[in-house]
């Protein structure tokens, strides 16, 4: 079932009636990555995001203990309004769960980060085919040899990228379009030979699904909101909570409102 309204979608998610991926849901509304950390890790993470804005652009963050959003949506509850969560302890995946009600702590700080789903909407509107959407799979994502800037307890960790293949003319258009969306990764960080950025096999993504790359196409790489999950695996905070990739927070702001 496809929801048109972001408010109705979040209500279904909150009631655990909707427990799947959010791709294609509430079209035109922004989807965001979630990161939750204890207060004594929060400044370092905000600094990590500031230093790595292509990967981690904060759309909204709360003060310690706050779980209701103010800006991305009015009073959405980050403890319940995402279809599936991942809990990491000391950098290892501990469990997946459908809400955070039992485990929410007074010192938790939430961060909602920009997601490439927002600029894909703009690409489709410009009649540019987005391969993983055409093939109805998750976007392919890869660890790279590009190091993020460190920030306090977050030491240098690899940037994660998403990939979309285009013919050169569409790659140029995609660069032009996405540069105007700096809060959802902005312009690409690289295109061309995947080995140059440490990707050994383009057909074996580290996250998400492989997609077809045709003879006349070039793979184009954008910084990806999964980067903080990788950073957490390196920094090993006692607890960190994220969404399950693809199971996003859906807000009431429109994608097009993120255009500068």
Which is it for strands 85-89 and 92-97: parallel, antiparallel or unpaired? antiparallel
* Spatial CB neighbours of 15, under 8 Å, sequence gap ≥ 6: none
- Regarding 58 and contact with its own copies (CB under 8 A), the answer is yes
Beta bridge partners of 77: 68
Tell me which of 50, 105, 134, 212 binds its own copies, using CB under 8 A.
Answer: 50
Task: Pick the closest to residue 123 from 168, 171, 163, 167 (CA basis).
Answer: 171
Torsion angle in degrees (nearest 10) through CA of 219, 128, 183, 250: -110
Using CB under 8 A, which of the segments 18-26, 27-35, 117-125, 146-154 binds its own copies?
Answer: 146-154
Three-state SS at 254: strand
How many Å from the N-terminal Cα to the C-terminal Cα in the chain? Answer: 32
CA distance 21 to 260: 28
Restricted to residues 91-130, the positions that interact with its own copies (CB under 8 A) are 109
Tell me which of 24, 152, 168, 192 binds its own copies, using CB under 8 A.
Answer: 152
- Regarding 148 and contact with its own copies (CB under 8 A), the answer is no
Least distance from its own copies to the Cβ atom of residue 181, Å: 10
**Strand ranges across the sheet with 158-166:** 141-147, 158-166, 218-223, 190-191
With respect to its own copies, which residue has the nearer C-beta, 95 or 176?
176
| Residues 133/126, Cβ–Cβ less than 8 Å | no
Per-residue binding letters, 162-201, with its own copies (x by CB under 8 A): -----------------x--x---xx--------------
The H or E element spanning position 45 is helix 39-51
With respect to its own copies, which residue has the nearer C-beta, 42 or 211?
42
Using CB under 8 A, which of the segments 97-105, 145-153, 158-166, 192-200 binds its own copies?
Answer: 145-153
With respect to its own copies, which residue has the nearer C-beta, 50 or 203?
50
CA distance 31 to 203: 26
Task: Pick the closest to residue 59 from 132, 117, 128 (CA basis).
Answer: 117
- Regarding 38 and contact with its own copies (CB under 8 A), the answer is no
Tell me which of 61, 197, 231, 235 binds its own copies, using CB under 8 A.
Answer: 61
With respect to its own copies, which residue has the nearer C-beta, 11 or 44?
44
- Regarding 72 and contact with its own copies (CB under 8 A), the answer is no
Least distance from its own copies to the Cβ atom of residue 72, Å: 11
Task: Pick the closest to residue 225 from 110, 53, 76 (CA basis).
Answer: 53
Least distance from its own copies to the Cβ atom of residue 58, Å: 5
In the complex, the residues that contact its own copies under the rule CB under 8 A are: 39, 42-44, 46-47, 50-51, 58, 61, 63, 71, 109, 149, 151-152, 179, 182, 186-187, 260
């Amino acid at each position: 079932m496809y929801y048109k309204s972001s408010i109705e979608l979040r209500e279904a998610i909150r009631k655990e009636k909707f427990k799947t991926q959010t791709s294609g849901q509430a079209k035109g509304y922004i989807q965001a990555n979630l990161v939750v950390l204890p207060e004594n890790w929060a400044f370092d993470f905000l600094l990590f995001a500031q230093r790595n804005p292509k990967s981690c652009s904060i759309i909204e963050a709360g003060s310690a203990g706050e779980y209701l959003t103010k800006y991305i949506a009015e009073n959405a509850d980050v403890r319940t309004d995402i279809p599936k969560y991942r809990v990491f302890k000391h950098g290892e995946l501990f469990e997946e769960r459908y809400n955070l009600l039992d485990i929410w702590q007074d010192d938790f700080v939430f961060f909602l980060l920009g997601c490439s789903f927002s600029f894909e909407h703009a690409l489709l509107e410009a009649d540019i085919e987005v391969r993983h959407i055409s093939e109805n799979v998750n976007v392919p994502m890869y660890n790279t040899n590009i190091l993020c800037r460190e920030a306090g307890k977050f030491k240098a960790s690899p940037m994660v990228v998403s990939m979309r293949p285009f013919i050169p003319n569409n790659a140029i258009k995609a660069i032009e379009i996405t540069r105007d969306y700096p809060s959802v990764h902005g312009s690409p960080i690289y295109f061309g030979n995947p080995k140059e950025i440490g990707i050994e096999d383009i057909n074996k993504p580290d996250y998400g699904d492989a997609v077809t790359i045709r003879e006349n196409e070039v793979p184009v790489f954008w910084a990806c909101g999964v980067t903080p999950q990788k950073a957490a695996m390196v920094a090993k905070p006692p607890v960190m909570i994220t969404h399950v990739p693809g199971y996003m927070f859906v807000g009431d702001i429109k994608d097009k409102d993120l255009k500068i």
